[in-house]
Amino acid sequence: MLENKKNHDEKVEMGGSLREMPKVGKTRLESDSLGSLEIEENAYYGIQSRRAKENFPLSGQRIHRKLIRGMGFVKYACIEANLRTGSISKEIGEAIKKACKEFISGQYDDQIIVESIQGGAGTSINMNVNEVIANRALEILGKEKGRYDIISPNTHVNMAQSTNDVVPTAFKIAVLMMKENLINSLEELHKALQEKEREFDGIVAVGRTHLQDAIPIRLGQEFGAYARLVGRDVKRIAESMECLCSVNLGATAVGTGLNADPAYIKAAIEELRKISGMDVQLAEHLVDATQNTDCYVHLSSAIRICALNISKMCNDLRLLSSGPICGFMEIKLPPVQPGSSIMPGKVNPVMAEMMNQVCFQIQGNDHAIAMASEAGQFQLNVMAPVIFKNMFEAIEILTNGANVFTNRCIRGIEANTKQCFNQVNKSLGVITALNPHIGYEKSSEIAKEALETKRSVRELVLEKGILTDEELDMILQPQKMTEPGIAGMKRVSNS
């Protein structure tokens, strides 16, 4: 080991350029094809990880934890396959296996230092993982970190692998691990909306088209529509995740499987299925599975559609709860925090606003994924890291957002029954029920006069002797107007 006695402002050559190295304690010297670097003695990462960290200092956002777990599963499966086929010595293989198990448990997450967006199609994350596992395996054998002549990150940990099959496989495993929480959160939202559908079924409200008064609708019907919308989203997302079970592990660099024994590929897939608990299968065409990312776009699109649907629902809820004096105020959203730093007593629909913003962000995530997918060339899409970053973010914020929105908003919504009743009675939309009885033209005349004079439809119809009180009682029943059919008798008058 080397003692680093250099000053903070001294330079160390890095790949043909000069950069400042921070002052550190004891170090070890590691080399690659671009030169040498001093690495902290206690670090499990190595020279390629350090280069990647310094090459891509973007947001400080590291690799998602689920991707780290997925990489651990893949590395374990691969080393087990290499042991089965006799491609690696038992001593080295078992040390790497033990290191992989520890890695999967999360013991070395802090040693994954590369950022989520990086050049190289994921080579940086692959090498960061390879170096951490190699150095821990060296420790297990009682050797010093950095002794890559004994256990190499490339030769041993990465045996029969390429970034181009390992990282996409790990990503798919990671997303599949997130599936249950995402689906559960949306199903809870779906159930909460169904509960409100039943709770509000007997409450008649004003329907609106073009933001103008329309015919009556039951408040329960409105929430039933939202429930069915989210129900379709759950199904669409679940179905779009099925393609992630097809992986290209064993494809190596371009999908041809160079350096990967068929027996190794079979064993690696079997072991990956066992250790991850995911029902993964080897892709039918490895070149296709290596170069094309349409399954990511398919999933992202399903998530985007869900976000669009939920955002539309949030827009409705904010309008329906607007007020409390000068708005619709047909429903009451749960008050979760004071709404203004200057207006006492103001309460804002912050949970719906939050969910709107989550949905806006998901639209951006989807656009980035679509652009990155289209930007691939030939046998590899090198833009995979930004696809991974945006997919993880979209899934995570939709999962968390839906949970909070369900529990802090939807479940606590109350109907303002009195306001709904008053609005229906004042609405001109009820005159639509008169169409089959007095004709569209006469109904239009009544509606126009009612709007101009601020008098009720019932009052004008009675005054003009068009229908009797009993006939109007039969026709103008708001509850019946919310179902198919014609209320009361049918009579068209030309008088």
Euclidean distance between CA atoms 82 and 62, whole angstroms: 30
Q: Kindly name the residue from 105, 340, 444, 493 that is annotated as catalytic.
A: 340
| Residue at token pair 């989520």 | 116
Q: Is the peptide bond before 324 cis (omega within 30 degrees of 0)?
A: yes
Cα atoms found within 13 Å of the Cα of residue 297, Cβ hemisphere only: 14
Please choose, from the candidates 38, 67, 63, the residue with its C-alpha nearest in 3D space to the C-alpha of residue 51. 38
Output phi, psi for 213, to 5 deg: -60, 135
Euclidean distance between CA atoms 158 and 238, whole angstroms: 32
Euclidean distance between CA atoms 431 and 421, whole angstroms: 16
Secondary structure string (H, E, C) spanning 180-236: HHHHHHHHHHHHHHHHHHHHCCCCEEEEEECCEEEEEEEHHHHHHHHHHHHHHHHHH
Burial class for 329, CB neighbours closer than 10 Å (0-12, 13-18, 19+): middle
Question: Catalytic: 301?
Answer: no
CB contact at 8 A, 115 and 67: no
Q: Whats the size of the chain, residue-wise?
A: 495
DSSP 8-state class, residue 270: H
Please choose, from the candidates 212, 116, 122, 205, the residue with its C-alpha nearest in 3D space to the C-alpha of residue 161. 122
**Distance of alpha carbon 195 from the chain centroid:** 25
By annotation, the residues acting in catalysis are 340
